[in-house]
Chain A
Amino acid sequence: MRSILKNQMMQSPLANQSIIRPKGNRGRKSLVITLVLTSLVDAFCMLVIYLMFNISPSEQASMISKAGQLPIASHSDTLERGTVVRVEGDKYFVNEQAVAPQNLTQKFQQIKAQMGQAPDILIQADKSLNFSAFNPIILAAAQSGVHQFKFAVFHGGNGK
Chain B
Amino acid sequence: MVIAQEGKKQLNFELNLLPIISVLAVCVCFLLMTAVWIPIGQVSIQQGLGETPLGQTENPPTVFAAMNANGEIVFMLKDLGPQQTREERVVVNGIAKQINWAAVQESLQSIRKTYPQIRTAIVMPNPISKYDDVIQMMDHMHRVEIADVGLSPF
Contacts and interface: CB of A to CB of B under 8 A. Distances in A.
Interface of A: 3, 5-6, 9-10, 12, 14-15, 23, 37-38, 40-41, 44-45, 47-48, 51-52, 55, 57, 60-61, 63-64, 70-80, 122, 125-135, 138-139, 141-142, 145, 147-156, 159-160
A73 B44 contact: no
A88 to B, nearest CB: 12
A127 B130 contact: yes
B87 interface: no
Contact of A127 (B32, B46, B101, B132): B132
B96 interface: no
A149 B46 contact: yes
Contacts of A79: 40-42
Contact of B135 (A5, A60, A151): A151
Contact of B41 (A3, A57, A77, A128): A77
B78 to A, nearest CB: 21
A50 to B, nearest CB: 9
B31 interface: yes
Contacts of B54: none
B2 to A, nearest CB: 10
Contacts of B140: 159
Nearest to A141: B47
11 contacts: A6-B3, A40-B21, A48-B31, A64-B40, A77-B41, A128-B130, A129-B130, A130-B127, A131-B127, A142-B153, A155-B39
